[in-house]
Amino acid sequence: MVERANKPKPPTLAATPGLPPQPTVTFSDDNSRVTAVLPTGESVEVLLYGATVISWKDAAGDEKLWVSEAARLDGSKPVRGGIPLVFPVFGPPPSQAEHPQTAGLSQHGFARSSRWEFLGKSTSESLMGPGKGATDHGAVKLDFGLSSGSEGLDPQARAHWPFKFNLIYSVLLSRESLTTSIVATNDDDKPWDCHVLMHTYLRVKDINKVEITGLDKASYIDKVDGAKTKTEESGKLTITGETDRVYSPVDGPVCVVENGETTYSVTRDNLSNVVVWNPWADKAAGMGDFAPKDGYKNMLCIEPGSVSTWQSVEAGDAFEGAQTITIHQ
């Protein structure tokens, strides 16, 4: 699914002379983030801390992700907003008795609190094949790496998750979509378990006018109602209060509909769950890094992942999963 790209040599990766306009990839002055821009204007920005996507804009410059105004982007704590990557545990860690492998970790694991290495870029010609890439130049892929030997690995991981692993995380920007994918390889001599989730904060205009489709008849765990298992009876789910549900939908896209028009569709590859989350007013008020406090009206988390059960990865094997978010305009 994911190519392992070589490390780039120059700090700024420019287009090859003589070719039509190509996507550009640049680094911030402090080397804390990477930005890719298509010739048509679409862009994505990734913070190396957590390999967190913190911006995704269409050709008109309209932001598609919600990031809290109080989010820290200096590497001091995980980012509230964008697309944080959850691995190897989702939510608060279980007890030692429930799952000793992850009991000592912090909420949502260490992928979002480690500094990743930028491995390189691929552009349209290599992604789309001869001919097509040479004419539309409509995609760029950024690869990031984190392993048990990485200097940027959260110290907590070394102390509490002493397994050998290698993660490759890829962010693929095209004119109408954004794909994030992960390959988690077990380099140890024994199996380990993991959760994987892409905690995507989509920007919406008014949560009160949003409907979610693609979840009809799906079973879900309602974390707001004592983790009861329920079945979604509505073909169009609306958000009217604090919502925290882990769905196990059938194959097919989950769509966000605003004022009767589909604005996003989210498809999954080898990810069995979709978490739908919105903190609503009271919970947002109690989160120190959530701002503005009424920001819940302009965000909706649609989070593809595999978190309802543990994914057991045998020695030498790998778990792969991906999401694609498509913009409908």
Catalytic residues: 199, 303
The verdict on whether residue 112 carries a ligand-binding annotation is yes
Q: Would you say 131 and 104 are in contact if contact means Cβ atoms under 8 Å apart?
A: no
The verdict on whether residue 80 carries a ligand-binding annotation is yes
Distance CA(134)–CA(149), nearest Å, equals: 38
Q: Would you say 25 and 140 are in contact if contact means Cβ atoms under 8 Å apart?
A: yes
Q: Would you say 53 and 65 are in contact if contact means Cβ atoms under 8 Å apart?
A: yes
Exposed e or buried b for every residue in 56-84, given b needs 16+ CB within 10 A?
bbbeeeeebbbbbeebebebeebbbbbbb
* Length, in residues, of the chain: 329
CB under 8 Å to 53, separation ≥6 — which residues?
Answer: 44, 45, 46, 47, 65, 82, 83, 171, 178, 180
The verdict on whether residue 268 carries a ligand-binding annotation is no
> Alpha helices of the chain — where are they, by DSSP H?
124-128, 132-136, 155-160, 280-285
Dihedral, CA of residue 129, residue 130, residue 134 and residue 135, to nearest 10? -90
Distance CA(32)–CA(46), nearest Å, equals: 9
Q: What is the 3-state secondary structure (H, E, C) of 105-122?
A: CCCCECHHHCECEEEEEE
Per-residue CA distances from 245 to 31, 112, 219 (Å): 37, 21, 10
Distance CA(240)–CA(225), nearest Å, equals: 14
Bind-site residues? 80, 107, 112
Bind-site residues for substrate? 80, 107, 112
